[in-house]
Amino acid sequence: MAIERTLSIIKPDAVKKNVVGKILSRFEDADLNISAMRFALLSKDDAAGFYAVHKERPFFNDLVEFMTSGPVCIQVLEGEDAIKKNRELMGATDPKQADAGTIRADFAESIDANAVHGSDSSENAAIEIAYFFPSMNVYRR
């Protein structure tokens, strides 16, 4: 299996709950390395640009509103099969549907405030990593 990189965001609800460290531990315990990380308070344009693929969806404005409601913590995670592995650690988009023991089952309240973002494909991972991190800031093992 290939070493991959994926973009992860700990969303405003989870930052407010003070569970950044607990969520980062899930990644490390699953052998995903944190290769870059920073906090940011996204502007409406930042969030809308990041979620541009969803701009026709009915929940788009709520999503942008939520993602700009407080600071987020953004990471690049690196490891074997990192994109799929992170999606498994995250759990389903709706925390009520998420498997027990996943990040969303344990830390999220609702489909709007669902604790984490994770890239869904290698193409999107590359786009999303470049959106937030200049390549010189991504640590290479």
Q: Which is nearer to Mg ion, 81 or 120 (CB)?
A: 120
Judged by CB under 6 A, the residue of 19, 34, 37, 63 near ligand IDP is 63
- When asked if residue 120 is in the footprint of ligand IDP (CB under 6 A), the reply is yes
Residue 97, amino acid: Q
Is residue 104 within 8 Å of residue 115, measured between CB atoms? yes
Stretch touching ligand IDP by CB under 6 A, among 19-27, 70-78, 108-116, 126-134: 108-116
How many residues bind Mg ion, per CB under 5 A?
1
Site string for Mg ion, 94-133 (x = CB under 5 A): --------------------------x-------------
- Kind of pairing, strands 3-10 and 116-118? antiparallel
Q: Which is nearer to Mg ion, 54 or 96 (CB)?
A: 54
Is residue 47 within 8 Å of residue 55, measured between CB atoms? no
How far apart, in whole angstroms, are the C-alpha atoms of residue 38 and residue 73? 6
Query: Choosing from 11, 85, 104, 117, which is the catalytic residue?
Result: 117
The string of DSSP codes covering 33-97 is: EEEEEEEE---HHHHHHHTGGGTTSTTHHHHHHHHTSS-EEEEEEEEETHHHHHHHHH--SSGGG
| Known active-site residue 54 | no
Which residues are part of the catalytic machinery? 117
- Which residues here bind Mg ion, judged by CB under 5 A? 120
